[in-house]
Amino acid sequence: HPPVSQMEETSLLRRANCRSKGGASGFKVAILGAAGGIGQPLALLMKMNPLVSVLHLYDVVNAPGVTADISHMNTGAVVRGFLGQPQLEDALAGMDLVVIPAGVPRKPGMTRDDLFNINAGIVKTLCEGIVKCCPKAVVNLISNPVNSTVPIAAEVFKKAGTYDSKRLLGVTMLDVVRANTFVAEVLGIDPRDVNVPVVGGHAGVTILPLLSQVNPPCSFTPEEISYLTDRIQNGGTEVVEAKAGAGSATLSMGLRGDAGVVECSFVASQVTELPFFASKVRLGRCGVEEVLPLGPLNEFERARLEKAKKELAVSIQKGVSFIRK
């Protein structure tokens, strides 16, 4: 990471010590892929989060620049930058939470699965670093295809004997964010007042909004259901096409350790016969505390669920085979 003078290092340590005098010492968070379209705003949000005491920004390019920039923010977290593979282990040592948006994004005409060939290897290498340096960290995987990268991470951790299914989560919250926005538009209400569970996975037909379980309770016409389901499933593609080659969604993306936080996430699951599935999970300081059941589905959702499971099973197996081969 960029040279830090003795004086600066002493002052960083003093700040970190001060903070821990307050009681809880805060989360140590690493972002892998921190210089990218998701990494940079995520780094900014983490630096603004009072629960974060140490923030490590790792990338294979531009990490020093992003680190210098973010580190000038007048908030508590101590920020350090790490550039390239030789610095991966220092970036990961002692981390409580590792968030991974490293890898390539889609261009128009591509599916998320088209990213597998590049991103699978990147995720594998980064997870091998986690095994070595912070095997007890909670890992949030953003890199696509999430339906395969989460099984890849699980296999790397299993191979090393460090796997804890509670600590590995694929980030699918963007599907909920989109669903809330599009449903609110149809209902003519504030999106902050809407909650739509989105289950299954994070690609095309595997993204299954449960419109029969929207909160506040409401009903839709068959046309609205068809429009909303398609729009939510294709929200990512809508952004990829609008950005016309300049990447995918980065700005609509966002662990407190509080009890009782419930969010949708792609996790190891017994909700269906598949080993991984996105559904509502109750989060706690150590990751997943409980995977919640799907609740009652209507006929439309049951049919879509079968379709989602078919594609999801293939994507999961592809990730598993990548490590076991």
Q: Which residues pair with 3 in a beta bridge?
A: none
184 has binding-site annotation:
no
Instruction: Tell which residue, 115, 53, 120, 124, has the closest CA to residue 88.
Output: 124
Type of residue found at 226: S
Q: Quick one: what does residue 239 bind among ligand LMR, ligand NAD, none, with the CB cut-off 5 to 8 Å set by partner type?
A: ligand LMR
- Binding residues for ligand LMR, rule: CB under 6 A, are 105-106, 112, 144, 174, 202, 236, 239-240, 248-249
Token pair recorded at residue 265? 């996430």
From candidates 67, 71, 144, 233, binder to ligand NAD by CB under 6 A: 144
Residue of 227, 185, 245, 232 whose CA lies nearest to 204:
232
Stretch that binds ligand NAD, among 154-162, 223-231, 244-252, 302-310 (CB under 6 A): 244-252
Q: How many CB atoms lie within 10 A of CB 1?
A: 17
| Known catalytic membership, residue 202 | yes
Q: Which does 129 bind (CB under 5 to 8 A by kind): ligand LMR, ligand NAD, none?
A: none
Locate 173 and state its tokens. 């919250």
Token pair recorded at residue 7: 């004086």
- Give the nearest distance from C-beta 124 to ligand NAD in angstroms: 10
Q: How far is CA 103 from CA 121, 146, 208, 248, in A?
A: 9, 12, 25, 12
Among 29, 30, 35, 294, binds ligand NAD (CB under 6 A): 35
* 101 scored as a contact of ligand NAD (CB under 6 A): yes
**35/225 with CB nearer ligand NAD:** 35
Q: For 73-101, b where at least 16 C-beta lie within 10 A, e where not — what string?
A: eeebbbbbbbbeeebbeebbeebbbbbbb
Write out the residues near ligand NAD by the rule CB under 6 A. Answer: 32-33, 35-39, 59-61, 101-106, 115, 119, 122, 142-144, 146, 171, 174, 202, 247-250, 253
Q: Which residues are annotated as a binding site?
A: 33-39, 59, 106, 112, 119, 142-144, 178, 253
| Catalytic residue ranges | 202
Q: Which residues are annotated as a binding site for NAD(+)?
A: 33-39, 59, 119, 142-144, 253
